[in-house]
Amino acid sequence: MNQKTLAGIAIALLALSAAAIGYRLWANRADPLPLSSNVAAPPPSASQPGTNTVQPNDISPGQTPAGIPGWKTHTDQQLAIRFEYPPDAIVSPVAQRQTADGAAIDELIVTPSGMDPTRVHFFSTAAPLDKAKNIQIYPSEIKSSEFSDVAIDGYVGIRRIDHYSANECTNELTVVGKGGSVYGFHITQCPTHTPGYDQLRRDIANSLELL
């Protein structure tokens, strides 16, 4: 084999090597992440854990009473609350007292007119929320109680429903914490009451706003 043939073969080999290197560089020019279907997608952003609080319509501030013509608005700076009530209802001054379980509260009572009135109790207390949820506004024989998370004006709290031993009536106590104090209301509901009787009390309680 002469020198010209050897030189030609060498040149051809060099050309093939250069072509191979060039192809590798071209193939790797794109995104270095492999396009395989086995590549895991980035995890979705984690959502914040729920607070497990609910805001039922029956405690959304102002929803129900706002649609009732002729109702009045009562603002109490001492309790730092506002609520609506029928014009023939009686609103008591704020009084300090101890509840049946010994809790100290500042209390305002709304007494709707007519029938044998059950009352709406608005109150505040310095007791912490985990103790305020057990406040007994007045003594009663309770068969069982159930608790649920609630919110009023964006402030989280607790609702306790007590079932009477002697009948189908219930006590409903709702408390929320704001700024180191606890605010709440208490109503009694009975299926034997005249239609509209319990709803009126619930409407008054529903209208609670914290100042």
pLDDT, one tens digit per residue, over 125-168 is 999 999 999 999 988 899 999 999 999 989 999 999 999 999 99
Average pLDDT over residues 180-184: 95
> For the residues of 29-50, what is the DSSP string, one character each?
SS-SS---TTSPPPPPPPPPPP
Q: Say what the pTM is.
A: 0.69
**Residues 110, 70: Cα–Cα separation, whole Å:** 17
> For the residues of 151-194, what is the DSSP string, one character each?
EETTEEEEEEEEEESSSS-EEEEEEEEETTEEEEEEEEE-TTSP
Work out the number of other CB atoms within 10 angstroms of the CB of residue 94.
18
- Tokens describing residue 3: 């020198």
Q: Which three-class secondary structure state does DSSP give residue 63? A: coil
Lowest mean pLDDT among 37-46, 112-121, 191-200: 37-46
Cα 130 to chain center, whole Å?
Answer: 16
Residue type, 162: D
Average pLDDT over residues 29-37: 35
Confidence of residue 99 (pLDDT cuts 50, 70, 90): very high
Answer yes or no: is pLDDT of 59 > 70. no
- Tokens describing residue 8: 């030609």
Question: Which among 151, 157, 150, 84 has a CA at the least distance from the CA of 125?
Answer: 157
- Average pLDDT value over all residues in the chain: 77
**Residues 91, 108: Cα–Cα separation, whole Å:** 7
The residues, any chain, with a CB within 8 Å of residue 176's CB and separated by 6 or more, are 129, 150, 151, 152, 153, 155, 156, 157, 158, 182, 183, 184, 210
Q: Domain 57-210 is classified in which CATH homologous superfamily?
A: Mog1/PsbP, alpha/beta/alpha sandwich (3.40.1000.10)
Confidence of residue 116 (pLDDT cuts 50, 70, 90): low
Give the pLDDT score at 204.
95
Answer yes or no: is pLDDT of 48 > 70. no
